[in-house]
Structure 1
Amino acid sequence: MQVGNAVAIVTGAAGGIGAAIAQRLLEHGARVLITDRDADRLAATTRRLTAEFSGAVSGLAADAASESDLRKLIDTATSEFGPVDMFFANAGVGGGPGLDATDAQWEQALQVNVMAHVRAARLLVPDWLERGGGYFVSTASAAGLLTQIGSATYTVSKHGAVGFAEWLAVTYGDRGVRVSCLCPMGVDTAMLTGLGADGGPVGDLATRAVTGAGAVLRPLDVADRVIEAVEDERFLILPHAEVREFLHRKVSDHDRWIAGMQRYRRSLT
């Protein structure tokens, strides 16, 4: 996949990983529509990117979990830049801590972290199959391969994001629709401190579980790994190399892995 001249949409792009991916795409010659629910932050990011990449970037505030908003994003990108070649389903939310999480917190996590991806694929894949190609990049998390101490909603919804990306690749990957799934651990974004919804001890536990497991990377460093994986058409994107080893331990001996995670949780509390 050549990123140059591609038309891309990046959700959750007011800051963090989304803004970093948009910047790297633009540097490689893509034309990019960025979107986020936070209109003020999105406008600031759009101005910053436009100053360097005038004519190649546009911003539109939207809810990535809304089918009507997704249609609007696709229509806008198409009218401004041309047919959409790449979609980066990057918008995400933290959510409730554990069994005390409310139904509303579960619903929000599932809508944004999973159903937003499903709805985007519904709208894009038929056209990609007709055109002979397209690229879907799902931002999940290492929590989607392992687990997230301190947040049940984040863990379950990110597992769902990984599962949907796998299904998409299995079902359409040999028909021109390429799929990658980004699964980082700690990245220096607002999401890192928002893993627990209550902002109290449980939220702090979730953050410390991530920062204690490996390095906290810069968003632009993560975006570099994303561009490399897309150009190689590689499914799993692991900016933290140790995640692969953690996953291997989990698969090879699930009970031992759970016991180790229990020990790690106790060390944090």
Structure 2
Amino acid sequence: AGAEAVAARIDARAYALDVADAEAVAGTLARIEAEIGPIALYCSNAGILERDPDPGLATSADPASWDRAWSVNVMGHVHAARVLVPLWLDRGGGAFLGTVSAAGLLSQIGSATYSATKHAALAFLEHIAIAHAADGIRVAALCPQGVDTAMLGAASAAARDGVLSPDSVAEAAFDGLALGRFLILPHPQVADYARRRADDPERWLAGMARLRRSMLDAR
């Protein structure tokens, strides 16, 4: 209903699908191409965040939680790319914008499944970018920190570092696409955090461990 309301407001069309279902993704994309026309830009935005059931135990997420996170946060991108990349190769180009998260570059305290799957999503987007850079296919990874959406209610306090509106993040995404960026960072400080992590992993991990302890103590 929400998607239909937005579509009506901007004179667009809404299509419902489960991004974890390969056949549903392929069918919906085929329908869009038939009803509207060739897809030149695909924004792969779906994601889920489930917190560790036991905040004090990093391995407390069960296999079902891992399956859910993997099927949406990773395979949602994979299923769409498997349909679109071959089409774009035939057409001479296209653009794929994958919403990842700063957690794909850093970590998400309190959610092993989110951290791991967002790292995997970023690696998949990098793989496409490397393989098809000469084929006119542009790939971008949108990696914000906190965005003022329903998902933020499930996030840790650390994710609230400079919460942005969805409109601000969308504007940053399209600016990044126009500039040909692979990593689009609506929160510029994420680049500095990622450099610190790469330069001194042990110091980074120690700092994150302190932050985690302080968050647990504040519960």
Q: In which range does the TM-score fall when normalised by the shorter chain?
A: over 0.9
Give the aligned partner of residue 5 of structure 2: 47
* C-alpha separation in 2, matches of 1:179 and 1:120: 13
- Using the size of structure 1 for normalisation, the TM-score is 0.76
8 Å CA contact 1:96, 1:102 repeated in 2? no
Question: Equivalent residues in 2 for 1:187-226 (5 A)?
Answer: 187-195=147-155, 207-211=156-160, 214-226=161-173
Q: Return the offset for 1:154.
A: 0.2
- Answering whether residue 85 of structure 2 is matched by residue 125 of structure 1, we say yes
* C-alpha separation in 2, matches of 1:141 and 1:113: 10
Match of 1:80 among 14, 29, 35: 35
* C-alpha separation in 1, matches of 2:40 and 2:31: 14
Give the aligned partner of residue 139 of structure 1: 99
Question: Once the two structures are superposed, what CA deviation does each residue of 1:17-51 show, in whole Å capped at 9, x if it has no partner?
Answer: xxxxxxxxxxxxxxxxxxxxxxxxxx233234323
8 Å CA contact 2:51, 2:154 repeated in 1? no
Q: Return the offset for 1:106.
A: 0.1
* C-alpha separation in 1, matches of 2:75 and 2:66: 12
- Using the size of structure 2 for normalisation, the TM-score is 0.93
* C-alpha separation in 2, matches of 1:161 and 1:265: 24
Give the aligned partner of residue 179 of structure 1: 139
Corresponding letter in the other structure for 2:158 = A
- Answering whether residue 115 of structure 2 is matched by residue 155 of structure 1, we say yes
* C-alpha separation in 2, matches of 1:129 and 1:230: 19
Question: Once the two structures are superposed, what CA deviation does each residue of 1:105-140 show, in whole Å capped at 9, x if it has no partner?
Answer: 000101100011111111110110110001111111
Aligned residues: 211
- Answering whether residue 183 of structure 2 is matched by residue 236 of structure 1, we say yes
Secondary structure at the counterpart of residue 185 of structure 1: coil
Question: Equivalent residues in 2 for 1:21-60 (5 A)?
Answer: 43-51=1-9, 53-54=10-11, 57-60=12-15
Give the aligned partner of residue 199 of structure 2: 252
* C-alpha separation in 1, matches of 2:215 and 2:147: 19
8 Å CA contact 1:95, 1:108 repeated in 2? no
Secondary structure at the counterpart of residue 60 of structure 1: coil
Q: Return the offset for 1:72.
A: 1.8
Match of 1:99 among 41, 55, 59: 59
**After alignment, is 175-184 or 68-77 more displaced?**
68-77
Corresponding letter in the other structure for 2:157 = R
Corresponding letter in the other structure for 2:23 = S
* C-alpha separation in 1, matches of 2:205 and 2:87: 43
8 Å CA contact 2:7, 2:14 repeated in 1? no
Q: Return the offset for 1:80.
A: 2.0
Secondary structure at the counterpart of residue 13 of structure 2: strand
- Answering whether residue 128 of structure 2 is matched by residue 168 of structure 1, we say yes
Q: Return the offset for 1:77.
A: 1.2
8 Å CA contact 2:26, 2:79 repeated in 1? no
- % of aligned pairs identical? 43
Pairwise CA RMSD: 1.2
